[in-house]
Structure 1
Amino acid sequence: MAIRTCFSAFLLLLLPLEFIAVMGVTPPPPLPLPECRPIVALDRDLLQFALNLEFLEAEFFLYGALGDGLDVLAPSLALGGPPPVGGRKANLDPIIRRIIEEFAYQEIGHIRAITESVGGVPRPRLNISAEAFAAFFNRAMNTTLSPPFNPYANSLNYLLASYVIPYVGLVGYVGTIPNLVGRTNRELAASLLGVESGQDAVIRTLLYLRANEKVMPYGVTVADFTDRISEIRNRLGRCGLKDEGLKVPMQLGAENRTTSNILSADADSLSYSRTQPEILRTVYGTGDESRPAGFLPNGGAGRIAVRFIAT
């Protein structure tokens, strides 16, 4: 009996996958494409990579709300890195300014927490100028907006520009946490993720309240802008659908029962994740982790980002 059982199992292994599927045996899912697979790196390097997004968010929020950046508010955390290019105080209404100011101080705390835990890296060169955002929005909208999109012009523009950034940090932490070895490092990353996801949810909610409003003078609704931004991030990331705008078809909504999409998530309402190369492709705006540009014109800081530029 034992010999017959083993022989039957051996024959089963030889059957075509199609026949196995008919018999109710599900084959394993295909491996991700090489450019979409997690990278192997030390905890320290993975967390230091996250500083690139934390620096970007901190400077954009600090300048937008207060008109000054880390060099004034927390100069020791910049570790001698060059000052950002193009930051300025935004023309925000009092409520939005208060929210963005809170986000800004939270980002200072994030940078300090990572630095104290695994060591810091010098702040990379950041381009948070109106021109950098205008270039990103032109590409997202597949046209040349006239006048050029200016994130600092008003509260709505600033919220749309903010839609570009925290979500990238959020999906980055989701992708990083499973690859962290140390328990303390995983707990730190989970805590950072909690605040990043909260920031993104607030921004998306504020924009959803104005989803059908047309962004002047372009005549395009807020919801359409978010769709286009999410689409360009998917194209740049090169690893499928991991980003969705404020409104989606019913089949992409939560449990296929809603067209609202205040929290972007997959079919099981779980957060999407991205690898470090995907994030670099997005914030560089080139779709190539080895070609810096965009918000990080000289490339990211830390061993992981530098490794991709060197190759």
Structure 2
Amino acid sequence: MPKLSRRESLHALAVAGLCSSAGLHWPTPALAQAASPSDLKDEDIFQFALNLEYMEAEYYLRATTGKGIDAADLGSDPGSVKGGRKVSFQDKAIGEFADELAENELAHVRFYRKTLGSQAVDRPAIDFEAGFAAVAKAAGLPDFDPFANDMNFLLGGMLFEDVGVTGYAGAAPLLQKKEFVEAAAAILAVEAYHMGMARSQLYQMGDKAQKAANAVSVARDKLDGPADKDQGIERNGKANFVPATPDGMVFRRTPQEVLRIVYLTDKAGVDSGGFYPKGMNGTLKST
């Protein structure tokens, strides 16, 4: 059998659901024949990441300032954003944490736009209202509003941060340029700091927050495929701040698995939905 390109392997794996938390496995000959013939470029992966960073930055900026990303950082033809408003934080520390999150995610958007240059994709259309409504329904959280209070804000952030960490871990082995690998690793570390803080804060809020966070985790894991790549913040009656494999490593998700979560679908071949009503911009946009 001829050697597959990286994109061929990635596409076939996503369709078959053969990804495991330990890494990627080789597809069967039948799946290889159905795969795309072109190679995946580092820029394709960074464009994919930029789409996610746009969403995270919009979420945190709207929660902390009441408005989103400035026009100068959106591209020439950005999509619209539906939903989001300033949160009335009751806990001073959580409010300051939120400000730091917003600064970090906006910095990530600017980094990717600077690095990609003319290849930087515009902000895609983002729908927080439909996205969170669907997540709430799947997780059994009636009338969930992520901008209503401190706990809900952290739950909404956890939805993105956990997925971002696993997405960066899954994409990093696909990068070829040393400087791109270094950048992805550095951003992954920041996203992991975010995730750990949000999960620990939620755990300390008590039973209601713990159950809600675990429900979000279960809902995500049902979307991304058959492998177990998610963990709640409470397991066996104890705190679980760090979701990890038995080897103490971060879970890995392929771009297609990430797309299933943010598009809120468990089906292959979907190119829009959920938080991205018109899909992501760039090469990597289909589950």
Band of TM-score, shorter chain: 0.7 to 0.9
Using the TM superposition, give the Cα deviation of residue 124 of structure 1 relative to its aligned residue in structure 2, in angstroms.
Answer: 0.5
Deviation digits for residues 100-145 of structure 1 (CA, Å, limit 9, x no counterpart): 111111111111111222231000001123x53132111112xx72
Amino acid at match of 2:126: L
Task: Provide the TM-score with structure 2 as the length reference.
Answer: 0.83
Map 1:72-91 onto structure 2 (within 5 A).
Answer: 75-79=71-75, 80-91=77-88
Task: Provide the TM-score with structure 1 as the length reference.
Answer: 0.76
Deviation digits for residues 162-216 of structure 1 (CA, Å, limit 9, x no counterpart): 111111111110001111001000001001101111111110010111132xxxx
Map 1:123-138 onto structure 2 (within 5 A).
Answer: 123-129=123-129, 131-138=130-137
Specify the alignment match of 1:3 in structure 2. none
Specify the alignment match of 1:5 in structure 2. none
Give the distance between the partners of 1:194 and 1:302, measured in 2 at CA. Answer: 24
| SS of the residue 1:82 aligns to | coil
Is 2:165 aligned against 1:170? Answer: yes
Amino acid at match of 1:227: N
Specify the alignment match of 2:62 in structure 1. 63
Specify the alignment match of 1:199 in structure 2. 194
Using the TM superposition, give the Cα deviation of residue 50 of structure 1 relative to its aligned residue in structure 2, in angstroms.
Answer: 0.7
Q: Is the 8 A contact 2:264 2:274 kept in 1?
A: yes
Give the distance between the partners of 1:185 and 1:281, measured in 2 at CA. Answer: 25
Deviation digits for residues 238-270 of structure 1 (CA, Å, limit 9, x no counterpart): 1411110011138xxxxxxxx321011111110
Q: 1:224 aligns with which of 185, 193, 211?
A: 211
Q: Which runs of 4+ in 1 moved over 3 A?
A: 35-40
Using the TM superposition, give the Cα deviation of residue 32 of structure 1 relative to its aligned residue in structure 2, in angstroms.
Answer: 6.2
| SS of the residue 2:98 aligns to | helix
- Paired-residue identity, %: 31
Using the TM superposition, give the Cα deviation of residue 285 of structure 1 relative to its aligned residue in structure 2, in angstroms.
Answer: 0.7
Give the distance between the partners of 1:52 and 1:172, measured in 2 at CA. Answer: 12
Give the distance between the partners of 1:140 and 1:291, measured in 2 at CA. Answer: 23
Give the distance between the partners of 1:261 and 1:52, measured in 2 at CA. Answer: 29
User: Unpaired runs of 5+ in structure 2?
Assistant: 1-11, 25-35
| SS of the residue 1:115 aligns to | helix
Amino acid at match of 1:162: G
Specify the alignment match of 1:102 in structure 2. 100
Is 2:247 aligned against 1:249? Answer: no
Specify the alignment match of 2:149 in structure 1. 154
Q: Is the 8 A contact 1:65 1:98 kept in 2?
A: no
Is 2:266 aligned against 1:269? Answer: no
Give the distance between the partners of 1:132 and 1:179, measured in 2 at CA. Answer: 28
Specify the alignment match of 2:270 in structure 1. 290
User: Unpaired runs of 5+ in structure 1?
Assistant: 1-30, 213-220, 251-258
Q: Which has the higher contact order (CA 8 A, sep 6+)?
A: 2
Specify the alignment match of 1:260 in structure 2. 239
Give the distance between the partners of 2:152 and 2:284, measured in 1 at CA. Answer: 32
Give the distance between the partners of 2:74 and 2:107, measured in 1 at CA. Answer: 13
| SS of the residue 1:47 aligns to | helix
Amino acid at match of 2:274: G
Using the TM superposition, give the Cα deviation of residue 57 of structure 1 relative to its aligned residue in structure 2, in angstroms.
Answer: 0.5
Q: Is the 8 A contact 1:46 1:304 kept in 2?
A: yes
Q: Is the 8 A contact 1:246 1:261 kept in 2?
A: yes
Specify the alignment match of 1:235 in structure 2. 222
Using the TM superposition, give the Cα deviation of residue 155 of structure 1 relative to its aligned residue in structure 2, in angstroms.
Answer: 0.8
**Higher gyration radius (CA):** 1
| SS of the residue 1:69 aligns to | coil
Give the distance between the partners of 1:48 and 1:54, measured in 2 at CA. Answer: 10
| SS of the residue 2:234 aligns to | coil
| SS of the residue 2:227 aligns to | coil
Paired residues, number: 253
Q: Is the 8 A contact 2:134 2:264 kept in 1?
A: no
Deviation digits for residues 253-306 of structure 1 (CA, Å, limit 9, x no counterpart): xxxxxx32101111111000100110110001112351421111111111111x
Q: Is the 8 A contact 1:292 1:298 kept in 2?
A: yes
Give the distance between the partners of 1:61 and 1:201, measured in 2 at CA. Answer: 16
Q: Is the 8 A contact 1:36 1:275 kept in 2?
A: no
Deviation digits for residues 28-52 of structure 1 (CA, Å, limit 9, x no counterpart): xxx9673445695110001110112
| SS of the residue 1:136 aligns to | helix
Give the distance between the partners of 1:152 and 1:81, measured in 2 at CA. Answer: 23
